Amino acid sequence: MTWPTSTRSRAVTVGEGLAVLVAQPGPLEESEIFERTAGGAEANVATVLRQLGVDTAWLSRVGDDGFGRYLLAHLAERGVDVSAVVTDPGRPTAVYVKERGSGSGKATDLADRASRMLYYRTGSAASALSPADLAAPAAARLLAECELIHFTGITTALSESATALTEALLALPRDGRLLSFDLNFRPALWAGRVGLAADVLARHVRGCDVVFLGADEAGAVFGTDDADELRALFPEPAHLIVKNDAHTVTGFAGAQRVEVPALGLEITERIGAGDAFAGGYLAALLHGRPLVQRLRFGHLCAAAALTGTGDGAVLPAPAILERLASVDENAWAQLYYNEQNVAS
């Protein structure tokens, strides 16, 4: 079964994209070759939505440089509408280097399969995002016509002008649209404004319709990592999804509460799993799936990210995901995500 697509963007994601340089496993200083790929939370979510039949646009700013042109081409090739992205002639595209461990035991090496990100985003084109970017004709049209807008705490942390942009998103008339927010707390990005982070992020959580919280991040920002306490603290979002370290996700939809365990799998890399979960949940929401299946689609998309390489998850066919998301509770509890189970 192929999920239907529309003639206009049903979803718009707003945030920074980054060119990614992936080092060879081992100490970073010994890597002579770097593989180029693409990253950025909202860009990752956009590519997942497209794979699940949701026409999606990405709003951002990139530099007038090779990395910016690469990001635009990368997303366009995956079916994401980049027509409203602004090219900034005076600021560079953000970059991060992904350091990967080989477990060699050398002093500067990481453990086998471990990874660490080194960000070079200060003064980036996307850090200049502001409410003016939402008012530009191309962006305003996309926002007016879509059914869902998604952004993250990374975007609002980039700069004061970017915070003003996300505050402007909160103030947009809903007109039937959903506003989705992933906490994605990154303390380093709040340097110089860390005292504002809790208030700003709480205001964003309360002002959105769909909210994703990593329990550890919520604990750091809001003082609790307990799903029920977080729901009591934030009753406003119609959909509140709390991901915890016990490998379960608790989803609240109105008065409904559902807990769904993650799948068994062998982790290749953790980067991008949260973005993939959000994309899977949001696609299932837009396609009218019940809460349990929305959470299962999130888990399945996260599993694709965890067992793959690169930040952007490459998903099995929607029909396979639909079959796996529809199994009974016992079958789900025993499901192991591997090539055999997602090949047909």
**pLDDT per residue as tens digits for the range 303-329:** 888 887 666 678 888 889 999 999 999
Does pLDDT of 262 surpass 70? yes
Residue 4's pLDDT is 47
Do the Cβ atoms of 138 and 83 come closer than 8 Å? yes
Do the Cβ atoms of 180 and 148 come closer than 8 Å? yes
**pLDDT per residue as tens digits for the range 235-261:** 999 999 999 866 899 999 999 999 999
Reported as a pLDDT band with limits 50, 70 and 90, residue 343 is low
The token duo for 336 is: 């192991």
* Domain ranges within the chain, ordered by starting residue: 9-146
Cα distances (Å, whole numbers) of residue 161 to 47, 193, 249: 26, 13, 33
Q: Which residues pair with 23 in a beta bridge?
A: 34
**pLDDT per residue as tens digits for the range 148-164:** 999 999 999 999 999 99
The token duo for 54 is: 């949701």
Residue 305's pLDDT is 86
Does pLDDT of 285 surpass 60? yes
Distance CA 46, CA 34 (A): 25
The token duo for 135 is: 């008012």
Q: Which residues pair with 96 in a beta bridge?
A: 20, 119
> What is this structure's pTM?
0.93
Reported as a pLDDT band with limits 50, 70 and 90, residue 9 is low
Which residues are catalytically annotated?
275
Nearest CA to 239 out of 282, 203, 199, 298 is that of 282
Other CB atoms within a 10 A radius of the CB of residue 218 amount to 25
Average pLDDT, the chain: 92
Residue 314's pLDDT is 85
Does pLDDT of 267 surpass 80? no
Plot region of 284 (φ>0 → left; ψ -120 to 50 → alpha; else → beta): alpha
Residue 246's pLDDT is 62
**pLDDT per residue as tens digits for the range 69-100:** 999 999 999 999 999 999 999 999 999 999 99
Residue 82's pLDDT is 97
From the options 3.40.1190.20, 3.40.50.1370, 3.30.70.100, 3.40.50.300, give the CATH code of 9-146.
Answer: 3.40.1190.20
Nearest CA to 114 out of 287, 303, 270 is that of 270
For range 6-10, the mean pLDDT: 60
Q: What is the DSSP string of 249-279?
A: EEEEETTEEEEEEPPB---S--TTHHHHHHH
For range 59-74, the mean pLDDT: 98
The token duo for 308 is: 């793959």
Residue 92's pLDDT is 98
Reported as a pLDDT band with limits 50, 70 and 90, residue 6 is very low
Reported as a pLDDT band with limits 50, 70 and 90, residue 344 is low
Cα distances (Å, whole numbers) of residue 56 to 141, 148, 155, 220, 329: 13, 9, 18, 32, 32
**pLDDT per residue as tens digits for the range 108-144:** 999 988 888 899 999 999 999 999 999 999 999 999 9
Please compute, for residue 305, the number of CA atoms within 13 A of its CA located in the half-sphere on the CB side: 26
Q: Which residues pair with 19 in a beta bridge?
A: 38, 95
Nearest CA to 155 out of 53, 10, 47, 12 is that of 12
